[in-house]
Structure 1
Amino acid sequence: MKYLFIHQNFPGQYLHIVRHLVRQGGHDIVFISEDNPNVINGVRRVRYRLPREVTDKAHAGVRDLDVGLMRAEAVAKAAETLKNLGFVPDVILGHHGWGELLNIQDVYPGVPVIGYFEFYYHTEPGFDVNFDPEFPMAPQVIPLVRAKNTVNLLALTNPGYGQTPTQFQKSTYPAWAQDNITVLPEGVDLVACRPDAKAAKHELVLGDVRITPKDKLITYVSRDLEPYRGFHVFMRALPRILAEQPDAHVVLIGGDGVSYGARLPSGCWREIMLKELEGQLDLSRVHFVGKVQYESFLALLQRSNAHVYLTYPFVASWSLREAMAIGCPIVGSQTAPVEEFIKDGETGLLVPFTQPDRIAEAVLELLTNKPLAKKLGKAARAEAERSLCLETYLKEYEALIDRVLQKHAGSEATVAEQKPDRPRVLRQDKPRAAKAVQTKKKVVVKAVKLAAPEKHHSAKSAPKTSRAISKSLNSATKGSNTKAVSTRRQRGKA
């Protein structure tokens, strides 16, 4: 099979399926993305660049569309180069969020596209906008939220098939579009993310942080520490927790940026909350460790006595799935994304998002009621084994691709039967046309890098077409400095 993946941050949500296809062998896998140092052996990469920055003169409502259309053009040019070199994929998989797939149908009109639909924005109650009464949205911003769906709407009306990881995310899309979107639950590596009964018996060291076997550990994880993930309300729950549990330590993983919601004019939410709670926290027991290596992340969760996961009605984080697989006793927010994973009193404790006292009560219950914490942790792991198994996810992913290929083949055959026969037109200027294409090929190739598979992959496992493409593009980009580093899991949603 020939696969073309498209995602601006290689490999994004496609890490597991790409690795799986590489392990199978015999596939030709090409990935179009922006440049980054990540490498997966056996995957050829084509990198693109945006031609310019978004202009500040553009209306705020069309800036996302402006970037999306630039990405669409850049990706289409890269794909055109691949096509000129003889690469025609059997299927295209990509993320619709950044507009990269908008023009791909023009390059490969007969190839089925499976697009990742992540979230459709809403301004009515029940979703992220105006969910938190502390941060009401200004009326003039409401139309800009609706405008953020422009790329979404173009993607929904383009040919192709859709996928999304949760029922909640599917429910955000218009009813008329949902029949074409398949829910494909994302899996977790249950071997890497597993409970460790011995973790509490040893001292855990992370930089300057030391958690002894006598300490109780509370964990909180987010890509960035911000209101969308409940950082502000969790911080307000800490004074009570620390006062009632003098042997408790809190480790917060996450950066100081803003991944979701409005940007701050200055500073960060960590500084804001520390100033608000000045004098109320024992800062010797509250540890901000920033973004950590994946191994450290796993070790912290394996040691955790209570893991807190809070979110607006928005996209659920991978860290929630991993915490379940590790068997953490979880305190989660009573919001739709979390309720799809956690059942209150069965696989975790659910609390109102905006009530710090209720968050504190649930955490304290887990810290003081060991039988309950153990029961909930075991149940969370069991649920992960049932519904978040990575191997099951990969099998279902392949099944989805097979269904799409069969459905597409059937629809193509139907269209072909309905078309009248057309007489062939013989071109008299064939040599000139061929020369023009060849010239165009040379010009475009110079702007494209395509990393060949690592040496340990045998030539036998690489299809002939892919070897030809690799040879052509490697020749065109000879002398380019391509970094090869070990690839760790991309945490697209923390």
Structure 2
Amino acid sequence: MKILLIHQNFPGQYKHLAPALAAQGHQVVALTCKVKEAQTWQGVRIIPYEIKGASTKGIHPWLADFETKILRGTSCYRGALGLKEQGFEPDVICAHHGWGESMFLKDVWPKARLGLYCELYHLTTHPFVDFDPEFPSQNPAGDKLRIRMKNLNNRLHEEVMDAGISPTRFQAATFPDHWQDRLTVAHDGIDTNLVRPNPGARLEIENGPTLTRDDEVITFINRNLEPYRGYHVFMRALPDLLKRRKNAHVVMLGGDSTSYGSKPPQGKTWKQIFIDEVRGRIPTPHWNRVHFLGRVPYDRFLAMMQVSRVHVYLTYPFVLSWSLLEAMSAEAAIVASDTAPVREVMTEGETGLMVDFFDRAALVDRIDALLDDPDTRARLGANARALVREQYDLHSVCLPRHLDWVRHLGDLPARPPRD
């Protein structure tokens, strides 16, 4: 088949699928705004397109998000026309439509089958809205309307989508009923041969210690340190946790920006806001055992997971982080929030321990107890890795499912654009 991949940050979720399709003999082309010049990567021809246009000053705030998607969609459309003029006619288009790029591709190739990476449909009900009472909506009625507007991109894509794929049941279930018969649940996969226990792992802290499996290490990861992923809960647990665990080192990974949810007050970061809140209750000798790594290369991330005695994962009801499954694959003993996305992949007392997202005292108690119980840590870690290998392994489970899905997509009758 001729296969076109669309992702604004290619390869993104197609990191493994794209070269695997090329290795099967398919002609695979990626269209992306990430590169400036055409190039070949692992058998995949990568073609650039340029985003043209700018956001309108003074536009209604509910339309600002959709306007950026229109700009990307029309820019990608122009890039697709260029490909068509060169004679490229894809049988299948796979797209992460979250940024709008694929909105008009069926207008270029109406006979192509369009398969979407369906990450999330925005819902206006609890617990998707107002899950955390500390950050309530300032305009509950208006926010529901605004969130519905955010789904314009999803709705326009649904009209031309031939099939969709979601990484978890939780994420797939956010989409409306009339999507469900076209949705397949298949995770992107964890390379369990790479993400595995390593008794000899070492994590060097700049201007600090080198941590190994002999040290008491507690880890916490966010893409960006922010409330959506429980950063505020974990930080508020630190004073008691450091007081109880006199030798523990706490290692945190994540940036200073905002990935999800509301932004912090102007000129501030969530990271610093909660450091400032708790720092006065943490003596300096204890604070010296807290290490912020920022964003790190993947090998340092792996070392962090491999030296971890207890890994903490907290999240609102939202997209599940890959890092949780990676921590499980590394045989980390995990304490996680008892929220719906976590319950899909973890079982209390079998593959990890769970606490109410807001219960800081219970969080400290469970971390403390687990650090004193090496047998339980070993059992939970081994069970967690076994589950990931059985259900989420990249090479034996997930990649074959994605390849089957693309093959099935190619057999479907195409849904043409609708007026």
**Alignment TM-score, normalising by the size of structure 1:** 0.79
Mapping for residues 52-451 of structure 1, pairs under 5 Å = 52-127=53-128, 129-139=129-139, 140-199=142-201, 204-210=203-209, 211=211, 214-264=214-264, 265-281=266-282, 282-391=286-395, 392-408=397-413
Superposed CA RMSD? 1.7
Q: Which runs of 5+ in 2 are unaligned?
A: none
Q: Which runs of 5+ in 1 are unaligned?
A: 413-494
In 1, the alpha carbon distance for the partners of 2:325 and 2:41 equals: 24
- Cα deviation digits, residues 141-176 of structure 1 (max 9, x gap): 332122111111111122421111110001111112
SS of aligned partner of 1:254:
strand
Does the CA contact (< 8 Å) of 2:352 and 2:384 recur in 1? yes
**Alignment TM-score, normalising by the size of structure 2:** 0.93
Of structures 1 and 2, the one scoring higher in RCO (CA 8 A, sep 6+) is 1
Deviation, 1:389, is: 0.8
In 1, the alpha carbon distance for the partners of 2:260 and 2:40 equals: 27
Q: Which residue of 1 aligns with 2:12?
A: 12
- Cα deviation digits, residues 427-477 of structure 1 (max 9, x gap): xxxxxxxxxxxxxxxxxxxxxxxxxxxxxxxxxxxxxxxxxxxxxxxxxxx
- Cα deviation digits, residues 75-128 of structure 1 (max 9, x gap): 11111111111111121100111111110001010010101111111121132x
| Partner AA of 1:408 in structure 2 | P
In 1, the alpha carbon distance for the partners of 2:367 and 2:57 equals: 45
In 1, the alpha carbon distance for the partners of 2:214 and 2:93 equals: 52
| Partner AA of 1:33 in structure 2 | T
| Partner AA of 1:388 in structure 2 | Y
In 2, the alpha carbon distance for the partners of 1:160 and 1:2 equals: 16
In 2, the alpha carbon distance for the partners of 1:259 and 1:53 equals: 22
Q: Which residue of 2 aligns with 1:35?
A: 34
Between structure 1 and structure 2, the one with the greater Rg is 1
Q: Which residue of 2 aligns with 1:445?
A: none
Does the CA contact (< 8 Å) of 2:230 and 2:315 recur in 1? yes
SS of aligned partner of 2:15:
helix
Deviation, 1:64, is: 1.6
- Alpha-carbon distance change, 104 to 285 in structure 1, aligned in 2, over 3 angstroms: same
Mapping for residues 474-493 of structure 1, pairs under 5 Å = none
Q: Which residue of 2 aligns with 1:466?
A: none
SS of aligned partner of 1:408:
coil
